[in-house]
Structure 1
């Protein structure tokens, strides 16, 4: 349980970082690229064995890690576009409701338990995510530019499901740092290529603040993935429980931090969502 709590804490700190990026006018794209480089470095430093590229390439999870690296940075950009085209609420709901994909995967592929209490908890969790994410003054329009929230929903769900599958099938506990580092490495390569393309088209202006922002974000981002993988790897844990508690707790804590530290407005719907989130976590963990 400690690994899950640390993953939730790290994921919530990512939310705070992006809020601070906006406040201090940090170039988000540049900070994200630096973040992936730092996260990759953290994984390499955490790996206890010698790093041999030939051994990494020969692992069964290598090509999956490449795909995940591509998905990491691609889905982030889709999230940004969804927020711009459909609104922040749609982006938040689409990405967090995608938790249903790895949950269903866990039920059918790993034959995880699905008693009434757990199903009820998961159902309440989905309602909690929606109510916690939607702002009362915003219009949630999924029909407008429908393709973006659909891609975001399936992309986020595929990322979580793929992490679970690769971790369970091919990654040993000692291999978690190098597996994480490889994912971040390919995300960084794609990000650097994007910046080079922007520079070629005279759309790049270096922001020195992105270095510090990316450094902090990278350590936090690596921690969130590392501890999530450790939680999934823990004997006796079920992915349906881990992903439900993880996503709902992040939404709940992020909403509360927005209220107390960033003075965001919390509607009655949001408070109901937070209350349901607490109930759903209790139901799922005690099931």
Structure 2
């Protein structure tokens, strides 16, 4: 269970970093690029993947690392587009609703057995998601950051439906697919380390090329902050894969606990550190989330 708790903790810390980055004038895209460099270094230092066998991936391994290498930076860019066109609330909702994709995959792809308690746990998890995503009215006016987002959302309201919903669909499908790919990577056992390293390398190269094409002016503070982001993100992914390896026959637990746990803890952190308002519905969602994880936990 500790692997799941650690993964949730580091994921929440990544969210805290991204929230503070705007206030500290960190250029997120540059921090993301340095994040992959840091992740590669940590992967080599801590996991020590066998370098002589990096090119000896299985056909499935090549598919997984190629998709992850492309999707990790691509989904970040799609998310940025979604926030710009549809607003932060709809974009965050699309990301969290991606939980539906790996839960379906748990039964259709990974052949997990569905019991009565597990089915009830899934329903409670989705209910918790709905409660946690509901925000009190006027919360968007609580901080200068959210005021800017509110103005941006108003301007973007003039976008056509297609321009708004296409990136939202990309966010939903992208995050859901990434969850499934990490589960597939976990099934390779100890061989996941080399697959993970190659994924980070490919993601870093693609992100770097994108920045070079945009003729980016490099920002020292953003690059240095990317080292911290890389450490947090690497830890999040590493423990997430380990959690899947700890519960190989119960992917639903990991998918649901990770997504619901992150947003539940993130909601509490937002209230405690950033003075975000919580409604009774949000608090009920936290209770439902805990109950759902208990039901999904293997007996």
- TM-score, normalised to structure 2's length? 0.86
Q: Distance in 2 between matches of 1:193 and 1:236?
A: 36
Task: Assess if the C-alpha contact under 8 Å between 1:42 and 1:222 holds in 2.
Answer: yes
Q: Distance in 1 between matches of 2:247 and 2:18?
A: 34
Q: Distance in 2 between matches of 1:18 and 1:82?
A: 16
SS in 1 for 2:54: helix
1:184 alignment partner in structure 2:
200
Correspondence 1:165 to 2:184 = yes
Give the gaps of 5 or more residues in structure 2.
141-149
What are the equivalent positions in structure 2 for 1:66-145 lying under 5 Å apart? 66-137=66-137, 144=161, 145=164
Q: Distance in 2 between matches of 1:284 and 1:49?
A: 33
Q: Distance in 1 between matches of 2:87 and 2:184?
A: 32
Q: Distance in 1 between matches of 2:31 and 2:235?
A: 17
1:213 alignment partner in structure 2:
225
- TM-score, normalised to structure 1's length? 0.89
What are the equivalent positions in structure 2 for 1:40-79 lying under 5 Å apart? 40-48=40-48, 50-52=50-52, 55-60=53-58, 61-79=61-79
Deviation of 1:149 (Å): 1.5
Task: Assess if the C-alpha contact under 8 Å between 1:17 and 1:217 holds in 2.
Answer: yes
Task: Assess if the C-alpha contact under 8 Å between 1:128 and 1:277 holds in 2.
Answer: yes
Deviation of 1:178 (Å): 2.4
Task: Assess if the C-alpha contact under 8 Å between 1:56 and 1:62 holds in 2.
Answer: no
SS in 2 for 1:266: coil
Could you say if the C-alpha distance between residues 15 and 118 of structure 1 is closer, same or farther in structure 2, counting changes exceeding 3 Å? same
Q: Distance in 2 between matches of 1:227 and 1:240?
A: 16
Moved more, 270-279 or 250-259: 270-279
Moved more, 100-109 or 238-247: 100-109
What are the equivalent positions in structure 2 for 1:236-247 lying under 5 Å apart? 237-247=249-259
Q: What is the RMSD of the two structures over their aligned residues, measured on CA atoms? A: 2.1
